[in-house]
A and B are shown apart, each in its own frame.
Chain A
Amino acid sequence: MANTKKRIPTQHVIGFLLSLVMTLVAAWAVIGSDLPKMWVIISILILALLQAGVQLFMFMHITEESSDGGHVPWNMMFHGFALAAILVAGSLFTMSFGFDHGDMDMDDGHKQEQHSEHSE
């Protein structure tokens, strides 16, 4: 707790305002804009990445040196990313039910097999 001087946290205020603005722009892109669907998706994805960047650099000390106990901030962030990967990949894997949705030729036979199983 070296630095407890009462100063204005400029970086945090800027970060806060930036994240508010980006949220509003994203909301506008979906609700108010006339962009084609693909561009809406691309633009909100880009905004999401920027948003994550603001969080990491303005609030989450990603650039900070390791502290006394040898804990570096990106160490914990790595765990966070690993969990996010499990969450997204795992959900996609599970909620696909293990069937791809008929893109390939061999899939037809497979599907029919499933079908006949159910109709028994």
Chain B
Amino acid sequence: MALDEFFVTGEPLIYAGMVSIALVTSAIIFLLTYFKKWGWLWREWLTTVDHKKIGIMYILSALVMLFRGGADALMMRTQLAFPGLEFLDSQHYNEIFTTHGTVMIIFMAMPFLIGLMNIIVPLQIGARDFAFPFVNAVSFWAFFLGAMLFNISFVIGGSPDAGWTSYTPLAGAAMSPGPGQNFYLMGLQLSGIGTLATGINLMVTILKMRAPGMKLFHMPIFTWSTLVTCFIIVFAFPILTVALALMTIDRIFGAQFFTLTGEGLPMMWANLFWMWGHPEVYIVILPAFGIFSEVIATFAKKRLFGYNAMVWSMIIIALLSFLVWVHHFFTMGAGAFVNSVFSVSTMLIAVPTGVKIFNWLATLYKSRIEFTVPMLWSLAFIPSFILGGVTGVMLGMAAADYQFHNSYFLIAHFHYVLIAGTVFACFAGLVYWYPKMFGHKMNERIGKWAFWLFLIGFHICFFPQYFLGLDGMPRRLFITNIAEWLPLNVISTVGAFGMGAGFAVFVFNIYYSYRYSEREKTGDAWGHGRTLEWSTTTPVPFYNFATVPYVDEIDPYVRMKEEGKTTFDEKKLKPIHMPSYSGQPIIMMSFFALASFALVFEWIPLAIAGLLGGVACMAFRSFDYDDGYYVQVDEIKRTERKARGL
């Protein structure tokens, strides 16, 4: 393969991308070398199995991906507001909306939430780490390398361009030759395996490693949402894995599962994709519900209203999420009976979701609300999400869907649920738990600026899109110079840049708070913490809990504070068993990433070499008898006394 086929050529924007990648990479290498930080990076981060550090790496990667996906979005909005400018051509536009969708769902929303789960769930249930810390590191590197593989596609080989749904036959080898679509398949496959492993890992952690006395119905609601999400992950992700594998075999080895020829069944891809894809949207929304529940209860200073109803509605949502997938392709042409069945099951989901909304409102009712930044995000979520939910029910009516399908009405709907739900929750959760992670709060004043810019920008951006959809503007269209559409498109673009500004202020706030925020002295940063994570000291010691408390109620930390107790009992100290750091996860997943990269370009010998390397790492691991180490009582005593000022 010639070098000019390997690199993408001919696009000024992409050349700029290449230059910035080269500059940023060399700047990072220079800084690490100049400050002699390579050893530190390897010892403290790349080999870590500590759930808190892995969580931070997840969140950092997710923020980078949010920047990338957001840049894609702004480029699309620029093209749509100024179609005469010819900012993007048709091919480039196709690539950008494909990567925007994929990056935002797979590499932004999920890792952000998984990052928060990583840090918070063990702290909430009184555990010292995940059930399988090594596997947790493997999961992170699978996700990270999968994300990087997907992201280099725009400078090497060319981006996928068949939409984030990657429908066949368009995405098949006949109509999309070349490496682009393979990047989608291999990037998702690699990171999907990581997600699946995390699902199993967290499920076992929550089921097996809760503090003594803590029954399932004593768990904090965020942990509950994580448990339910893990069930969805474990049941839904294998479907994606298989579907991706089938399409890979189709594209690389010439099988005919989803092709038009050879008795292939192209719509089978849509069927399998959405059997995973619909549960997937609940994978990203249920943890968001959990975060909002925690934040609302904390700043309303009340116990969450209807805790049991909240839990059961999540479980029912999880069950129903596996029974509605056909509503994503009502217009496939199935008969009235098929569509009716899925129309009804879709509307059923609105019931438990409505229950949750009313429970949040009831929690707020007659409470003294404290308007902190995480609370603002949570309060803004409720009305914004309802707008998305109601239009979702409209889309769920099969007959009406024939009008709405693939129009901007749909685009507005799912951005209303995904941004007002998931993205607001990511921001709320990050700001809320930020002091626990980094030892200082984010600045409230700048945080409010970021919030209002983002919220107002969001509504200006997406509300007009409902009407664009009703005016007949289809999605994935790059020419919009139709007089009726243009004004609304310009308004929408203004809003998009407002969101961009909000995000920029948010990131600036991270830097500003690092420099100027007051350092935390207590573990309970907001003063109203209700659950176990706030009972730990800040910064959290690497073993989390010196002594694990006995818990037999919801919100145990409220009573602890009333009675003036802490979780720490010096008399009960015992040596703590902790896992050792290991370089194996990153090395193992690098081999699999190499194999994936080779498969993208269909270099079979290199792919086999990479796979063999990965398998060799796994074999090596199975003869690795490192059982971790014990932290001695003296060391724990010293750490705790220092942290607690005893």
Contact = CB atoms under 8 A, between A and B. Distances in A.
Contacts of B341: 93
Contact of B239 (A4, A80, A87, A99): A87
Contacts of B333: 97
Contacts of B347: none
Nearest to A100: B335
Contact of A87 (B275, B334, B335, B627): B275
B265 interface: yes
Interface string B332-368: 1111111101000000000000000000000000000
A99 B265 CA distance: 16
Given A6-B625, A71-B207, A79-B235, A98 B337 contact: yes
Contacts of B207: 69, 71
Which residue, A86, A95, A96, has most C-beta atoms of chain B within 10 A? A95
B323 interface: yes
A83 interface: yes
A120 to B, nearest CB: 15
B322 interface: yes
B208 interface: yes
Given A87-B239, A97-B332, A98-B335, A69 B208 contact: yes
Nearest to A1: B627
Interface string B264-292: 01011001100100000000000000000
B326 interface: yes
A80 B267 CA distance: 25
Contact of A95 (B265, B322, B627): B265
A3 interface: no
Interface string A63-86: 000000101000000011001001
Contacts of B336: 98
Contact of B322 (A80, A86, A97, A99): A86
Contacts of B335: 97-99
Which residue, A4, A86, A98, has most C-beta atoms of chain B within 10 A? A98
A94 B325 CA distance: 10
A87 B268 CA distance: 12
A11 to B, nearest CB: 16
A3 B98 CA distance: 49
Given A83-B322, A86-B322, A95 B235 contact: no
Interface string B307-344: 00000000000000011011000001111111101000
Given A95-B265, A95-B268, A83 B235 contact: yes
Contacts of B326: 94
Nearest to B267: A95
Nearest to B339: A98
A71 B322 CA distance: 23
Contacts of B337: 98
B338 A98 contact: yes
A103 B270 CA distance: 27
Contacts of A94: 271, 326, 334, 338
A91 interface: yes
Given A86-B322, A97-B333, A91 B338 contact: no
A90 B276 CA distance: 13
Contact of B338 (A86, A87, A97): A97
A90 B271 CA distance: 9
A87 B235 CA distance: 11
Contacts of B338: 93-94, 96-98
Given A69-B208, A71-B207, A91 B271 contact: yes
Contact of B275 (A69, A90, A93): A90
A16 to B, nearest CB: 12
Contacts of B239: 87
Interface in A5-51: 6
A86 B323 contact: yes
B132 to A, nearest CB: 12
Contact of B271 (A6, A69, A86, A95): A95
Contacts of A83: 235, 322
Contacts of A80: 235
A83 B208 CA distance: 24
A86 B336 CA distance: 20
Nearest to B342: A94
Which residue, B239, B333, B625, has most C-beta atoms of chain A within 10 A? B333
Contacts of A98: 334-339
A90 B325 CA distance: 10
Interface in B606-630: 625, 627
A91 B332 contact: no
A88 B272 CA distance: 10
Contacts of A87: 239, 275
Which residue, B265, B267, B325, B338, has most C-beta atoms of chain A within 10 A? B338
Nearest to B326: A94
Nearest to B236: A83
A41 to B, nearest CB: 15
Contacts of A79: 231, 235
A87 B73 CA distance: 34
Nearest to B231: A79
A97 B342 CA distance: 13
A87 B239 CA distance: 9
Given A71-B207, A97-B338, A91 B235 contact: no
B196 to A, nearest CB: 14
Question: Nearest 9 pairs between A and B by C-beta?
Answer: A98-B335, A98-B338, A97-B334, A98-B337, A83-B235, A98-B334, A94-B326, A91-B271, A94-B271
5 contacts: A69-B208, A87-B275, A90-B275, A94-B326, A98-B337
Given A91-B268, A98-B339, 4 more contacts: A71-B207, A94-B338, A97-B333, A98-B335
